[in-house]
Structure 1
């Protein structure tokens, strides 16, 4: 989190937070790396393993529906979307990237629940691997920061 008056980062404290993670299985090795680094970072930030719910879905287009189901439960302070969309030769890349992103945003706004979107949209597998570990960690930090911010604002 940041202190709005000073612009200085505040400690990210995940203690007592409940975080849900939805991972797309398409490009499974890459999304598994995203999940591994996200979960490790959540735990490093103090989120208890028992307060992390990790579910998988077939692909990025299914992520928003699973996020919506988790959000409906009112059991979570924040959610994380994990996936990997690699550009191919057809328009399908744009469709999946745009619709999954719009769906994640819609769920967040409809439920007034922070969702860290770490669905990678890349040109090739090398770009995905170059980003997977760091983006997984970033998603954990975003989820914790935004959960704490919304708590402070309410």
Structure 2
């Protein structure tokens, strides 16, 4: 819920934060919806549009490398991973889901940088569509909350 007095939602304040978003283009209809919901929520949380860096990669397996490159710049308070992996008929789904997830986690731990992982892993397109807006928005909230938390712990 938006707090009109502070310009923040749910008591979270992103007004001083710099956020990086890495978006996979594969399943672009879904990832574009994730990104739109995410960017809107970041702005609702007070993150200035000019403090949001948004980059694109081919697919979910490339997301961790781009996250690492952004983390190495040491100018972000949090990062967000956006993608969509839909189960197919082969083992490829498990490989991409497991490896992209592990890569995102490794970058977060190696750089002690919050990364909201909104790489959807679904059984079918309908499940992805049903989650695209909520999960994009959730990623923004997680990124801002964790950036604020880590700011108080350091």
Q: Would you call these one fold, judging by a TM-score over 0.5? A: yes
Tell me how far apart the structure 2 counterparts of residues 19 and 34 of structure 1 sit (CA, whole Å): 15
Q: What's 2:37 paired with?
A: 37
Could you say what secondary structure the match of 2:14 adopts? coil
Could you say what secondary structure the match of 1:12 adopts? coil
Q: What's 2:121 paired with?
A: 121
Gaps of 5+ in 2: 1-9
TM superposition outliers: structure 1 runs of 4+ over 4 Å:
none
Q: What's 1:90 paired with?
A: 90
- Post-superposition shift, 1:129? 0.2
Could you say what secondary structure the match of 1:121 adopts? strand
Tell me how far apart the structure 1 counterparts of residues 26 and 12 of structure 2 sit (CA, whole Å): 31
Tell me how far apart the structure 2 counterparts of residues 57 and 67 of structure 1 sit (CA, whole Å): 10
Superposed CA offset, 1:77-100 (max 9, x none): 000000000000000000000000
TM-score by length of 1: 0.94
- Post-superposition shift, 1:56? 0.4
Superposed CA offset, 1:11-56 (max 9, x none): 1100110000000000001000000000000000000000000000
Q: How many residues align?
A: 146
* Corresponding position: 1:104 with 2:104: yes
Could you say what secondary structure the match of 1:128 adopts? helix
Tell me how far apart the structure 1 counterparts of residues 133 and 52 of structure 2 sit (CA, whole Å): 18
TM-score by length of 2: 0.94
Cα RMSD after superposing both structures? 1.0
Could you say what secondary structure the match of 1:26 adopts? coil
